[in-house]
Amino acid sequence: MREYDFSFHAFIQGIILIGFALLMLWFVLSGNIVYYIAPKMMPFVYFGLVTFFILGIVQVFRSTKKNDSSGAACTCGHDHRIPGPPIVKLLIYSIFILPVLMGFVLPDRALDSSVASNRGMIYGSGNSPSADAAQEAGRQTEAAETAEEEQSTADEYLEDPEGYMESLEADTSGTGEAPSPDEMDEHFTVEDFYDQEGFDQYYVELAEKLKHEDVITVTEDNYLDIMTVMDVHLDEFIGKDIEMIGFAFREPDFDDHQLVAARFSMTCCTADAGVYGTLIESSHAKEIEEDTWIHVYGTIKEGEYNGYRLPVITDADLNEVEEPDSPYVYPSFRF
């Protein structure tokens, strides 16, 4: 067997660890971390960054100790050699170097509409499922029940806020994932109603407040809240003006004048991102290219997509805008 050069491997490992630290530092310094990680996870990123630097430096120092033969200074006898012939070792280290290289070389960009179409758009607050979810719902035995429930969610809430909230809590779809078959009758996402007690106060108050505003302005901070309120209290908002920002997205079955202003909602990282969209009707919708960011100003009316009732922004003015600083929206956690 070839001699295992502990010193060399400790050196390489130390440098790879420093590489990880540098990558994370770069993301934090450039602000590009917003494309990858939700703000509330940042403490973990800082922990990782600092730990990688420390481990990397320790590891480089470890490598300078010559002839640590017996398998490291770690006297527990636990053997952690990188196994295999040199080619395998090279491959294993390449795996670790890969994310560092990709992180530095490839552009940092937010997810776009191709992922959106893969994930399936969630219209409104997720109250109305996407086409696929609707099809799936159709396969369920409680399909009829589901449809009925769809139409009466608001009523149901007004009649029995307590029970309604409990059923919302049952939803598994933290990030807009398709709920399990038995839960298809619940399309709200957990974060929309994260704080059970806060629901009636918070959303009813918000609805009340929004009703008295001339124009509803949707921002990054209130995006998911307003989507929820509009879904639950749609009747009260018909005829009101609204403005919002989103990236352009089209379902394959859209007409020329139809468009979606979409936002990704991220809970922790992009892997869990769900796509929220608001249906737009505008005569110049066809001039907008997919994935361009648009500012939308229009009037809310009641619409329908795939058999579900949802708010539609009609006669919309569409203006191309720059991508916002925070391309994603985040569920508001009120711990």
Name which of residues 263 to 302 contact other proteins (CB under 8 A). 267-272, 274, 291
Restricting to residues 181-210, which ones interact with other proteins according to CB under 8 A?
A: 181-183, 189-191, 194
Under the criterion CB under 8 A, does residue 69 sit at the interface with other proteins? no
The closest of 306, 282, 311, 312 to 294, measured between CA atoms, is 282
Window 212-251: contact mask with other proteins (x via CB under 8 A):
----------------------------------------
Among 39, 81, 152, 161, binds other proteins (CB under 8 A): 81
Among 47, 141, 283, 323, binds other proteins (CB under 8 A): 47
Among 121, 134, 178, 245, binds other proteins (CB under 8 A): 178
Q: How far is the CB of 214 from other proteins (least distance, A)?
A: 34
Among 174, 240, 286, 303, binds other proteins (CB under 8 A): 174
Under the criterion CB under 8 A, does residue 31 sit at the interface with other proteins? no
Q: How far is the CB of 47 from other proteins (least distance, A)?
A: 5
Q: How far is the CB of 50 from other proteins (least distance, A)?
A: 10
Among 149, 156, 169, 243, binds other proteins (CB under 8 A): 169
Under the criterion CB under 8 A, does residue 53 sit at the interface with other proteins? no
For 140, half-sphere exposure in the C-beta direction (CA atoms, 13 angstrom radius) is 20
Among 8, 160, 213, 215, binds other proteins (CB under 8 A): 8
And the tokens for 29? Answer: 């310094």
Under the criterion CB under 8 A, does residue 105 sit at the interface with other proteins? yes
* 2-10, 204-212, 219-227, 249-257 -> range binding other proteins (CB under 8 A): 2-10
Among 67, 86, 87, 118, binds other proteins (CB under 8 A): 118
3-state secondary structure the chain: CCCCCHHHHHHHHHHHHHHHHHHHHHHHHHCHHHHCECHHHHHHHHHHHHHHHHHHHHHHHHHHCCCCCCCCCCCCCCCCCCCCCHHHHHHHHHHHHHHHHHHHHCCCCCCCHHHHHHHCEEECCCCECCHHHHHHHHHCCCHHHHHHHHHCHHHHHHHCHHHHHHHHHCCCCCCCCCCCHHHCCCCCCHHHHCCCCHHHHHHHHHHHHHHCCCEEECCCCCHHHHHHHHHHCHHHHCCCEEEEEEEEECCCCCCCCEEEEEEEECCCEHHHCEEEEEEEECCCHHHCCCCCEEEEEEEEEEEEECCEEEEEEEEEEEEECCCCCCCEECCCCCC
Q: How far is the CB of 32 from other proteins (least distance, A)?
A: 9
Q: How far is the CB of 259 from other proteins (least distance, A)?
A: 19
Instruction: Give how many residues touch other proteins by CB under 8 A.
Output: 109
Q: How far is the CB of 124 from other proteins (least distance, A)?
A: 17
Residue owning tokens 């100790």: 65
Please, are residues 305 and 133 in contact by the beta-carbon 8 Å criterion?
no
Cβ distance to other proteins smaller for residue 314 or 332 = 332
Under the criterion CB under 8 A, does residue 87 sit at the interface with other proteins? no
